Each structure stands twice: as structure tokens, then as C-alpha cells.
């Protein structure tokens, strides 16, 4: 029996299989509002048969968006726009839907990378804004120096995370994930590469974890007790002096004590680095955190072959497999994986003839 296609329960949510559609930035929002593109994007992925679909990184305040074209959930208009999208998607799919909440910190206000322009900070003349961060250290040469956050700034961001969480609860989101990886705000506090503060929020790992854990606590307190909450964070920065696996396990241990339900393990982003990527290159971080904390983990990163995904779960290296670019390339990846691994999968009744021997009818909610 395929382990990839076995169910998994996180608090009050049971996923029918371990395949997760990873959150992927789309750069198609307007003033933080979801658009018709999100109906198309989320709608077709929700027919894939995966166990869970996670909506892209969503800014908890305007200055927390990666770009001005990124999703936000900081006002009523944002909430109403996403509600419209979800209502249409849910009409035709019963797939559980999660959402990734984040704040881009010193990596905010970038030029839209899908518009064919150079990648970099967007100036005010192109709708950009001043970034904030753990320390006044620019992300890269030529990028602006972020304003070092004060305690008042931290309180504002914590309130924004809590407010966005309550909006997610009203929208009926099934699962939340905090983006604590890739050099964005939470990640930058964790890493000595970006955090060189001399107060209670910098220096030792205990201090560097302080604000990230405050973010988690604020979200967990505002999120219904029966709905799962996870965190994506780095297993390494791939930079000397940055986050390493031992620090990742220590951070995961503190998250688990506070009621975190899973760790989505990634890497990099706190500065330019040479990353030895290849199929499953981040799986060892998921395995280390799983073993060191006892918490469920999600593996992500160039996992394309069903047999590879199956082996990761079956060997106990991770509990779930998140697929991003591979799912865009092949939106029916779960169907083909089910065929290869001899499992059955729910398929929309209109598509049942296309799913060969593995399909069974799935009906709208």
C-alpha cells in the first residue's frame, strides 16, 4: 500500500494523501486583492487530487508584500476578493485549502519578476516602499538599507499577523502556514547573516528566535484550536555563519512546544549562496527536524518522480511532500503518481474517464 497516498491527520484536519501543492507566488494581485487569475490558478490545481492546496505567500500588511503585485490580507477589500475566489473554487472541489502568511521584511518591494524586467528593489517611482528588517543590513548590493525595527514596529507586525489570521478563520481556510524561510522577515531575525542586533532580539540563538516565536504565538492564539498551523523555515542558509541544521532543530523544538503541527523545511534566501540543488536536496533538513523534534515535516524541493516521493515518506524522512514547479509543469501529477504507485485518487466526475483505473468520482462540497 502506498504511503504517499495514505491519509494524515493534523489536529481536526485529515488529508486524504500526503501530496501538498506548495504555495507559489503568482504576482497577479491588485492592491493585495486576488483576481480572476487566482480563480484559474487555484481552480485547476484544486482538481488535481492532491491532499492539500496552499495559497501563495500573503502579506499581513502592505509593506510586508514581496511585490506590489502580491496577495495581501490586511483589509476588508482583500478579504472580500479572496472570499470570491474561494467560493468559486470550493463549488467544484472539496480539496482542503491552506494559506501561507508572511512578511517580506528587507526583501519587500521588489520589481515584478514575471514582467520581464531585472530582479531588484522597486523604487518609489515604480510603486515601491521603504523596507523594514531585523537590522539595517541590505539584502544585496544595490538594495536599500532596511529600517531597523523598533519594539513598536514589532508590535504592529504582530497585530497584523493576528488580524490576518482572524480573516483566514472567517474565510474558512483549513490550515495556516507562517513563512519563516528564504530571508523574509521571520527568517531574517533567525539568521546572524541578517540579524546583528545588540538587544534582546539579537545575538544568541535564544534571542534571535524571540520575535519569530512571538509571531507564532500571536497566530496560534488567533487561530481556531482545531485547525493546524505550520511554519516554513530554513534548514540552512548555505552561508557560513548563517542558520545551520542544529539551529533549525532547536527552533523546531521550540515551535513544537508551542503547538506547531508541522515544519515545512526549505533553505537559503538570506543572501547570495551556492546551493547544491538536485532532486530532494532539502529532504535531509526535513528528516533532521522530524527526528529531533518529533514534529511532522513537509519536504519540498525538486521532487518530481512519484517513486522518489513515495520513498521519502515510506522511509520516514518526511510526512508530506510539497510540490510547486513540478505541479505547474504537470497539474495532474497526483493522478499519474496514483497510476504508478497503484493507488486510487478522487477525480472530478467530469474527468473520470481520463483518470484510467485509479480514478473515483469526487463531488463538489
* Residues 237/247, Cβ–Cβ less than 8 Å: no
Output the pLDDT for position 116: 67
Q: pLDDT at position 365, please?
A: 44
Would you name the residues annotated as active-site residues?
Answer: 184
3-state SS assignment for residue 83: helix
d(CA 182, CA 205) in angstroms, rounded, equals 18
Query: For the chain, what's the residue count?
Result: 365
Please choose, from the candidates 15, 17, 32, 35, the residue with its C-alpha nearest in 3D space to the C-alpha of residue 88. Answer: 35
Q: Which three cell numbers stand for residue 295?
A: 514534529
Instruction: For residue range 251-294, list pLDDT tens digits in order.
Output: 999 999 999 999 999 999 999 888 888 999 999 999 999 999 99
Residues of the chain where predicted confidence (pLDDT) is lower than 70: 116-118, 356-365
Q: Give residue-wise pLDDT tens across range 180-209.
A: 999 999 999 999 999 999 999 999 999 999
Q: What is the pLDDT of residue 118?
A: 63
- Are 364 and 92 in contact by the 8 Å Cβ rule? The answer is yes
Q: Are 262 and 296 in contact (CB under 8 A)?
A: yes
pLDDT of residue 350: 86
pLDDT for the residue 121? 87
Comparing C-alpha atoms, which of 155, 149, 132, 134 is closest to residue 64? 132
Q: What is the pLDDT of residue 115?
A: 73
CATH number corresponding to 8-362:
3.20.20.70
Amino acid at each position: 500500500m502506498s504511503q504517499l497516498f495514505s491519509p494524515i491527520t493534523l489536529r481536526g484536519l485529515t488529508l486524504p494523501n500526503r501530496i501538498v501543492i506548495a504555495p507559489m507566488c503568482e504576482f497577479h494581485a491588485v492592491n493585495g486583492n486576488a483576481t480572476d487569475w487566482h480563480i484559474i490558478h487555484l481552480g485547476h490545481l484544486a482538481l488535481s487530487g492532491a491532499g492539500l492546496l496552499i495559497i501563495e505567500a500573503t502579506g499581513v500588511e502592505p509593506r510586508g508584500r514581496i511585490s506590489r503585485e502580491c496577495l495581501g490580507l490586511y483589509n476588508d477589500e482583500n478579504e472580500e476578493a479572496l472570499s470570491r475566489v474561494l467560493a468559486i473554487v470550493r463549488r467544484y472541489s472539496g480539496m482542503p485549502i491552506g494559506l501561507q502568511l508572511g512578511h517580506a521584511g528587507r526583501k519587500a518591494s521588489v520589481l515584478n519578476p514575471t514582467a520581464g524586467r531585472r530582479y531588484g528593489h522597486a523604487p518609489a517611482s515604480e510603486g515601491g516602499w521603504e523596507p523594514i528588517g531585523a537590522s539595517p543590513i541590505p539584502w544585496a548590493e544595490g538594495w536599500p538599507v532596511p529600517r531597523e525595527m523598533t519594539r513598536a514596529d514589532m508590535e504592529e507586525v504582530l497585530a497584523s499577523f493576528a488580524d490576518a489570521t482572524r480573516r483566514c478563520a472567517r474565510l474558512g481556510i483549513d490550515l495556516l502556514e507562517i513563512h519563516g524561510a528564504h530571508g523574509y522577515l521571520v527568517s531574517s531575525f533567525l539568521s546572524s547573516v541578517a540579524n546583528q542586533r545588540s538587544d534582546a532580539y539579537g545575538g544568541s540563538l535564544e534571542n534571535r528566535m524571540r520575535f519569530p516565536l512571538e509571531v507564532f504565538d500571536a497566530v496560534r492564539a488567533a487561530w481556531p484550536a482545531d485547525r493546524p498551523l505550520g511554519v516554513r523555515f530554513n534548514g540552512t542558509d548555505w552561508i557560513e555563519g548563517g542558520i545551520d541544521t542544529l539551529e533549525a532543530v532547536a527552533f523546531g523544538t521550540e515551535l513544537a512546544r508551542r503547538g506547531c503541527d508541522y515544519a515545512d523545511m526549505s533553505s537559503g534566501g538570506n543572501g547570495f549562496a551556492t546551493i547544491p540543488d538536485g532532486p530532494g536536496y532539502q529532504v535531509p533538513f526535513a528528516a533532521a527536524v522530524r527526528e529531533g523534534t518529533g514534529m511532522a515535516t513537509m519536504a519540498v524541493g525538486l521532487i518530481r518522480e512519484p517513486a522518489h516521493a513515495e520513498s521519502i515518506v515510506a522511509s520516514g524522512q518526511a510526512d508530506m511532500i510539497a510540490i510547486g514547479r513540478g505541479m505547474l509543469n504537470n497539474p495532474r501529477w497526483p493522478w499519474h503518481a496514483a497510476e504508478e504507485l497503484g493507488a486510487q485518487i478522487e477525480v472530478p466526475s467530469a474527468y473520470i474517464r481520463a483518470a484510467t483505473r485509479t480514478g473515483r468520482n469526487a463531488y463538489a462540497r
